[in-house]
Amino acid sequence: MLKSRHLTVFLLILSTITAFAAPQRKLSDLIFKQKCTHDSLDYVTLTSPHTVPMLLIDREDFQQLISTPERPYNLATSEFYAPAVFDTYELLDSIPMEVSDRGEFAKAYEWLDDYDASYNMLNRIRQNYIFNNPGRIKYNVATLPEPPKAYRAYVDPLTTNIVVEEINVPVAETPLDITADITYKKWLHEFNASLQFSQAYISPNWYQGGKNNLNMIGQLLYHVKLNQKFYPKILFETTVQYKLALNSAPDDSIHSINITDDIFQINSTFGLKAAKRWYYSANLMFKTQLFHSYPANSRNPKSAFLSPGELNIGLGMTYNFENQKKNFRFGASLSPLSWNLKTCINDDINPGSYGIEDGHKSMNKFGSSAELTWWWKIAYNIVYNSRLFAFSDYDRFQADWEHTVDFNINKYLSTRFYVHMRYDTQTPRSEESPSWHKFQLKEIFSFGFAYHFGV
């Protein structure tokens, strides 16, 4: 329990806060009025009655909560004026609210305990004031028109007398420069890297059988955006990402490793503001893979670099939204005029698998495209990302819809659930699974290391 003496001093000091900013008036004049007498320049004596009418506490049982014994309290208030004058910057520690045990001499030290408690509280009020009202701090001791006199007392070792001498306070020739050094970030950068894996070992005599396997997924993502705080009428952002997924292939007699996911993708948007959240925009999307991918037990590649490759450029409108809590973002790009290019440059791959006519290595179409993206921070450690891209040349339609949910265990460990759905009207029917035709699906659940860096 707090000592009643300190609690009373604390409440008296707290009542001075509202009067602190009044210009050129002492707090003792504003607060204590008829209830205080000035002993000196350093102390104000307040005689405490049974009740404290200056404390506006609307509780009938307040008198039972604390006790206010009949005795004078010494409060250090003479140093408080407005505008405030500060002679240094301080980082103050917490206030000890309990009085130290002084034994049989406790009464003799009451005045010192009162002064220490009130002086500590006033120092923290001053600190709070300078933090919350930096524009009102016009002077320090060295820059006053006439610095106040300061004195130092010491004992002369030769005469054993107490000597009081004046301390010269130097006057600053130039005003104090406390201008903050602020660097404006015109470009906002974000970098994410993750490496996730799963592993299974099955002994040869396992009663259910099975194969040993090792799966690894690595992803790099870099996002740069023009800071719209400084360029509110311009929208420019670019995302570069690469994803590679590998797994062991115990049933493949030719390849020991199989590539299940290999995507290098660039998305870029440039826009000029048209309305509140709408922009006239140009969008670019490019994606391909970097390595060869082979079917099981075959040396003929199924896909390779720029086989397939896809480039889409669209002109239209872009909508951007972000809520006030900064935990949800939504973007929509609608491009009525779009140009789509598909390539298959590898001679060992059938271009017809990607809708390109035999004898050609590329195909370009004009049509319309749309891209929707949203980011939602569901909880402090759960983030959901989604992207939907669609293109149509009014004869063929294709769409990709990606979903990613990240569960961040700590700064470096995370679990990811990824689902990629694709619909393409020109996808040939699978020979191995004839029931799968225009709709395609990929799902990955992984656990591993993750790193995030943002500016």
**pLDDT tens digits, residue range 5-18?**
555 555 555 554 44
Cis bond leading into 53, ω under 30°?
no
Pairing between strand 278-288 and 309-322? antiparallel
CA separation, residue 347 to residues 19, 55, 303, 342, 360 (Å): 85, 89, 11, 15, 10
> Average pLDDT for residues 40-64, to the nearest whole number?
44
- Point out which residues pair with 282 in neighbouring strands: 270, 315
229/322 Cα distance (integer angstroms): 14
- Residue ranges matching CATH 2.40.230 in the chain: 187-454
Residue 235: name the closest of 332, 349, 318, 116 by CA.
318
- Amino acid type, 22: A
Q: Is the pLDDT score of 111 beyond 80?
A: no
Residue 267 has what pLDDT? 95
Q: Which two tokens stand for residue 187?
A: 């470009």
pLDDT tens digits, residue range 191-203? 988 888 877 777 7
Residue 340 has what pLDDT? 94
Residue 448 dihedral angles phi and psi, to the nearest 5°: 170, -155
Mean pLDDT of all residues in the chain?
77
159-168, 199-208, 290-299, 437-446: least confident range:
199-208
438 compared with 329, residue with greater pLDDT: 329
Tell me if the pTM is above 0.75.
Answer: no
Confidence class of residue 397 from pLDDT cuts 50, 70 and 90? very high
Residue 87: name the closest of 119, 115, 121, 126 by CA.
126
Give the chain's radius of gyration (CA, Å). 37
Q: Which residue has the tokens 């970097």?
A: 290
Q: Is the pLDDT score of 142 beyond 60?
A: no
CATH of 187-454, one of 2.60.40, 2.40.128, 3.40.50, 2.40.230: 2.40.230
Q: Is the pLDDT score of 401 beyond 90?
A: yes
Rounded to 5°, angle at Cα 452 from 447 and 455: 165
58-62, 89-93, 430-434: least confident range:
58-62
Q: Are 417 and 402 in contact (CB under 8 A)?
A: no
Q: Is the pLDDT score of 44 beyond 50?
A: no
Confidence class of residue 153 from pLDDT cuts 50, 70 and 90? confident
Q: In sequence order, what DSSP letters do the residues of 64-80 get, joined into one string? A: HH----SSEEEE--TT-
Percent of the chain surpassing pLDDT 90: 32
3-state secondary structure of 19: helix
> Average pLDDT for residues 404-431, to the nearest whole number?
86
9/14 Cα distance (integer angstroms): 9
Q: Is the pLDDT score of 21 beyond 50?
A: no
> Average pLDDT for residues 268-272, to the nearest whole number?
95
Pairing between strand 328-343 and 362-379? antiparallel
87 compared with 343, residue with greater pLDDT: 343
